[in-house]
Amino acid sequence: MPLPCGDQKLVQIVDAALAEAARKSGPWLVCRTGCTQCCIGPFPISQLDAERLRAGLRELEASDPAGASLVRKRARRSVARLKAAFPGDPTTGILAEDEAALERFTTFADEEPCPVLDPKTGRCDLYSARPMTCRTFGPPVRSGAEGGLGVCELCYRGASDEQIAACEMVPDPDELEPGLIREAEHATGFKGNTIVAFCLAEEGPANAVRKRKK
């Protein structure tokens, strides 16, 4: 299924914002290959993120079938470990949005590595197709109802609040992402967030439902 045509533009805008934040941050931003703290523990991804990851996996299959197979195996194993306690629908892989489910997700599978993470190299096997959360993690980004600045706990050590604020990343100033998410949800027939493991497990619940719907 093709990605919404505006996704490439969104990725370019977000990546440019990250590059500018990294330039302003200098040595305070210590993100590097092999630093995998942000790759441990599942996090919500949109259906747009999910479609981008699946497209990235298809590209990997064309260039490195063995590597793509390893990603799928890790995703299937992750789904098998997580589905019993999954705070949502384990048939579709969609996360529930009620307060109790959101509370459960805060402590859900905290030690589970992302299936896209290569455990030997510490690299992301689908880096160019990574979700928006991954593209914005590290630099100061406003979040929450009060719009506070959040940063990776490993970064900006010794920087003052004013210095951190001066490095703020504004990833989507024109708010393109919400509309693209709606497009992806309409195209796929799935509404709501999921996690990386469910969207990439070839035999996982969400993909089994897709196959039945075709």
pLDDT tens column, 40-52:
999 999 999 999 9
Length of the chain counted residue by residue: 214
Q: Give the CB-side neighbour count of residue 88, counting CA atoms within 13 A.
A: 22
For residue 145, what pLDDT is reported? 58
136 within some domain: yes
58 within some domain: yes
Range of the domain at 79: 7-205
Contact (Cβ atoms closer than 8 angstroms) between residue 206 and residue 26: no
110 token code pair = 């905290």
127 within some domain: yes
Query: Which positions of the chain have pLDDT values less than 50?
Result: 203-206, 208-209, 211-214
What values do phi and psi take at 195, rounded to 5? Answer: -130, 165
110 within some domain: yes
69 within some domain: yes
For residue 204, what pLDDT is reported? 40
For residue 97, what pLDDT is reported? 93
For residue 202, what pLDDT is reported? 66
99 within some domain: yes
For residue 68, what pLDDT is reported? 96
> Does the predicted TM-score (pTM) go above 0.75?
yes
Distance CA 190, CA 93 (A): 10
172 within some domain: yes
For residue 136, what pLDDT is reported? 94
For residue 150, what pLDDT is reported? 86
140 within some domain: yes
- CA–CA distances in Å: residue 202 to residues 5, 122, 169: 24, 23, 35
Q: How many domains does the chain have?
A: 1
For residue 2, what pLDDT is reported? 79
